[in-house]
Structure formats: structure tokens, C-alpha cells
Amino acid sequence: MARRLGVWLIGAKGGVATTVIVGILALKKGLTAQQGLVSQLAAFAHLDLVGWDDFVFGGHDIRECSLVHEAKKLHTDSRVIDEHVLSQCLAELAEIDANIRPGILLNVGKTIEGLADPALRNSKETQMAAILRAQQDIKSFAKQNDLEQVVVVNVASTEPILDAQSWPETWDELKTLLDGSGQIRIPSSSLYAIAALDAGLPYINFTPSLGSAPAAIGDLARQRKTCHMGHDGKTGETLLKSALAPMFAHRNLEIMSWVGHNIFGNMDGKVLDDPENKRTKVKSKDRLLREILGYEPQTHISIEYIESLGDWKTAWDHIHFRGFLGTPMVMQFTWQGCDSLLAAPLVIDLIRFAERAHRQGEVGLLTFLASFFKSPLGIQENNFERQFQLLQAWADGIE
């Protein structure tokens, strides 16, 4: 079945988005194998997922740089993308650049503002105007490219925590507050989510930012009969936690403390160097132990920006646990993974699964995608294997 799927990337010039785009180009051209792509596992072969040739990219970004420049930086700074792959993708990257529109710069915190195109920084756009502009951008993209469907994915930098607990729970109530006299401050990630869902498009939040998490935005998704999921892609250290912690739980080994120290040097790391933004991330990483174990060991998570590492995220975890007769033992691991290369295939998987679910008529949170997220919305399951079983069961249910 032929179809053309638009992928609208929020943070379209960032490391993850760039790697997603280069990755799809490389897959189209047969320059790479399929490592890292969950959706290419045999278990999902019958799903008739969107093929590499069907992807059409556009997006929003707040920075001025070019996709080509970003892709080259991934090669030179971090040795992430092979020169021979890169050189064969430059022409298409330049074309896709033309599909990237200026992003929304509301309530994103000072560090992200500091990265933005100065023109955006001085804009006085209201929240509602930003939503409408974003929607218009996506609609033009769909029309110009003759797309049957568009999926919107947030892969932008992490925003500072913004407490949405006091927000109203229905879309109708929230809507009336949107452009009231600043009664409510909505972060850009949520404005994009509103723009996408209001237009009936699936929305995926791959970041720890607020996105579509508030109840009122979920209500909007249901009203528009579309689907969404988030948040915070589970790419490295937390993935390992969700695979290892159940083992300790099932063996009744008492975890006394679990310390995780993360170092890396990409743009994401720079933004997380701001304590405001870091807090959002750490909170997302720290939840699952308590939920898997049923008790709360001492935990400490640090994330430090070490420039020389570029995109190579290195984590050291120290797990101090008590075995039989109360004896303390230790497990340590180090993880040396390339952040963008771990994230990008998951983003592609999420796009393909979300498109499939939407095609199937699914509405609301796609909880069967829990295995992809550090803090899956709408579901308590944090055990990785059981999360994966949910995905399998969903796939098994589709003929």
C-alpha cells in the first residue's frame, strides 16, 4: 500500500531530528542496516507500517542554523554519522531545510531562549496566535507535499518544569484561558501539542517537557478523535534501570541506593546544564525505581555537561544492594552510547506505530507504547519486559 506520511519535527534541527532524517535517507538509499529499529523486528512484520520511501519531513525550530550544518557537526564533533553516508544525503538535507519554519518561543526558560534566533526572541506573539501559526505551518506543509497524514513529534530541548496541576481538566475550560490576561502560562511543548491534536494529528512527546500530559490536552485529543503519547524517550540509563530493577525485585534483593552519573556534551547536555531544565529531566529519570521496587531506595542522579564527549552519553551507575543474611553487594555498570543514535530509531518507531494506531482508529493515549518512554503517560507499568509485552499484544491484535 502506497501512502505519503508527513513527519513534523519540533526541534527539527536538533541532534535527534537530524539523525532521524539522515537515518531515513540512509535507509531509503540502502546505506545502512536496520539496527536499533524496534519496528523492524519480526514481531511487527505483519503490521504494514509506513516504509522508508513514504517519509516526508518538515518541522519547527527556534535556531537559525541549517540541517546540513547540524549533520556535519554530528560527524565532526562526535563521529556519529559516517562521512560516506553523510555525503550522500546532503542534497536532500538542504531540500528538507526549506520545510523548517520558525518555532514557538513561549515559556521555555532562559537557556533555550538564549539559543534562539534573535528575531524570535523579540516576538510578542500570544499563545493562541502561536498555536494558530503552528497549525498553519503544518497545513501548508501537508498541502504542498500532498500528504495523507502528518504525525507531530517533539524532539526539542527540555523545558523547565511548569506545574500544570492548577490547570482546568477540560479542553473547553483551558481554551478560554489561553489568551486571557496571562492567567495561565503554557510552555511551547504544550502549545505544539494543542496545535497538532486540535488539527486531528497524532502527537508524540519524546522529551520530558510537559507536552500533551495535562488532562485538558488529553481531552482535546479525544474530542478530535486522535491519539498521542509521551513522555521522555527511554534511550539509555533509564532503559537499563527498567530492565535491571525488576530482576532485583524478583530476587528480593534489597536495593539500598542507586546512584547514576551521566555525562555528555551535546546541545541537550548544554540545556540540561541549566538547573531549571535539569530538574525536569532528573524527575523523569528518578520515578521508576520506586514504582518497580515498591519501596524507595536512596537515589542520586546527576547529569553533567562535559563538552569533549559530544553526543556520546556515558553513564555510570552504582547499585548497592543487600543480599541474604543482610550482606551488602554491588553492581556497577557503564553505558557508552551515542545519544542521537539511540533516540532516532525510537522516534522513527513511534512515528510508524502512532500512524498505524491512528489508521486503526485509536483515540487518546497510546499506552501500548510505554516501553519507549521514561515516564509513560496513563499507565503505571515500568518493567521493560512487561511494557514490551504490551506492544506485542497490541501488534498481535492487529491482523
Site for a second copy in 257-296 (CB under 8 A): 257, 259, 261, 263
How many residues contact a second copy, by CB under 8 A? 75
Nearer to a second copy, 56 or 343 (CB): 343
7 contributes a contact to a second copy by CB under 8 A = no
380 contributes a contact to a second copy by CB under 8 A = no
180 contributes a contact to a second copy by CB under 8 A = no
- Give the separation between CA 105 and CA 121, rounded to whole angstroms: 7
- Give the separation between CA 47 and CA 398, rounded to whole angstroms: 7
254 contributes a contact to a second copy by CB under 8 A = yes
Contact between 290 and 299 under an 8 Å Cβ cutoff? The reply is no
388 contributes a contact to a second copy by CB under 8 A = yes
251 contributes a contact to a second copy by CB under 8 A = yes
Cα separation values, 91 from 21, 26, 96, 245, 352, Å: 12, 13, 9, 45, 25
- Give the separation between CA 107 and CA 160, rounded to whole angstroms: 9
Vertex 83 angle, CA 78 and 84, to 5°: 150
377 contributes a contact to a second copy by CB under 8 A = no
Nearer to a second copy, 2 or 42 (CB): 42
Per-residue contact flags (x/-) with a second copy for residues 293 to 312, judged by CB under 8 A: -----x-x-x-x-xxxx---
Residues in contact with 285: Cβ distance below 8 Å, sequence separation at least 6, in sequence order: 237, 238, 260, 301, 374
59 contributes a contact to a second copy by CB under 8 A = no
Torsion of CA 146, 149, 154, 155, to 10 degrees: -60
When binding is defined by CB under 8 A, the residue of 12, 22, 112, 116 that contacts a second copy is 22
**Helical H runs in 34-102?**
67-78, 83-87, 90-97
Q: Give how far the C-alpha of residue 331 lies from the chain's centroid of Cα atoms, to the nearest Å.
A: 29
Stretch touching a second copy by CB under 8 A, among 168-176, 178-186, 209-217, 253-261: 253-261
Instruction: Scan residues 70-109 and list those touching a second copy (CB under 8 A).
Output: 79-85
Contact between 171 and 219 under an 8 Å Cβ cutoff? The reply is yes
Least distance CB 100 / a second copy (angstroms): 22
Instruction: Scan residues 320-349 and list those touching a second copy (CB under 8 A).
Output: 320, 322-338, 341-342, 344-345
Phi, psi of 266, rounded to the nearest 5 degrees:
-95, -175
244 contributes a contact to a second copy by CB under 8 A = yes
239 contributes a contact to a second copy by CB under 8 A = yes
Q: How many residues does the chain have?
A: 399
Instruction: Scan residues 118-137 and list those touching a second copy (CB under 8 A).
Output: none
When binding is defined by CB under 8 A, the residue of 215, 318, 364, 378 that contacts a second copy is 318
Least distance CB 325 / a second copy (angstroms): 5
User: Which residue reads 485538558 in cell numbers?
Assistant: 216
Contact between 318 and 259 under an 8 Å Cβ cutoff? The reply is yes
Least distance CB 82 / a second copy (angstroms): 7
